[in-house]
Amino acid sequence: MKILVTGFDPFGGEKINPAIEAVKRLPNEIAGNKIIKLEVPTIFYQSADVVKKAIEKENPEMVINVGQAGGRGAITPERIAINFQSGSTPDNSGKGPKEGKIQADGLDGYFTQLPIKKMVTAIRHAGIPAQISNSAGTYVCNHLFYEIQYLIHHDYPDLKGGFIHIPYLPSQTKNGRYPSMSLENMVVGLTAAIKAAAMC
Ligand code: PCA
């Protein structure tokens, strides 16, 4: 199977985003599945355009987007993408989102096609904290997750899509005010999650 794995670039004044750092360090093959890695700009609409182009070009069977969720203490596969965007932090274009629906004719929400329970179990078996998340927020991560789900439901019915949020790196914890995870553990956890997803 061909799996497209994407990671966001740094945003919100951070110098680093663990998402792209961890994605870059994934093996090129996981349990016989080819891993295609892609950096995505943290920009509403543009992020989805970049991923859609990669889907057209590579025609993967699965797409997993990875983003940073500062403040979380575990690797968190997301259950649902919601048709709403808002947020006061400007994206990397310097603008905030236009608050409201992402797609006027889209469903209120789309559930991931990925086996998130099995992925959480696999990450934990690898010794890394993990739990299901029921909200990817309303910022660029949920926007991308929703746009890819909308694409799947309209144009790619056989494509499986999902989103994984990861914690801050130790260097980003603002003097220990937030939990963090080492890059090595993120790579181990994501690899276990991808392997579990590909087996279903
Ligand atoms: N996290 C942000 C956007 C980019 C990223 O890595 C989010 O959770 O929306």
The CATH number of residue 39's host domain is 3.40.630.20
Q: What is the mean pLDDT of residues 108-112?
A: 99
Distance (Å, whole) CA 119 – CA 132: 9
Choose, from 21, 78, 143, 147, the residue flagged as catalytic. 78
Q: How many domains does the chain have?
A: 1
Neighbours of 49 (CB within 10 A): 13
Query: At 86, which amino acid appears?
Result: S
143 φ/ψ angles, rounded to the nearest 5 degrees: -55, -50
**For this structure, is 200 an active site residue?**
no
Q: What is the mean pLDDT of residues 55-75?
A: 98
Element (H, E) at 62: strand 62-68
**For this structure, is 141 an active site residue?**
yes
pLDDT band for 96, please (50, 70, 90 cuts).
Answer: confident
CA-closest residue to ligand 1 atom 2: 141
Q: What is the mean pLDDT of residues 122-128?
A: 98
Lowest mean pLDDT among 34-38, 50-54, 113-117, 171-175: 171-175
Per this entry, what is the length of the chain?
Answer: 200
112: nearest Cα among 131, 86, 135, 129: 135
Q: Tokens 């991931």 identify what position?
A: 112
- Give the pLDDT confidence of 133-183 residue by residue, as tens digits: 999 999 999 999 999 999 999 999 999 999 999 999 999 998 999 999 999
Range of the domain at 158: 2-198
Strand partners, 85: 100
**Better-predicted residue by pLDDT, 26 or 97:** 26
The CA-atom distances, in angstroms, between 78 and each of 81, 100, 145 are: 8, 21, 9
Distance (Å, whole) CA 102 – CA 104: 7
Choose, from 141, 143, 147, 184, the residue flagged as catalytic. 141
**For this structure, is 56 an active site residue?**
no
- Specify the pLDDT at position 47: 98
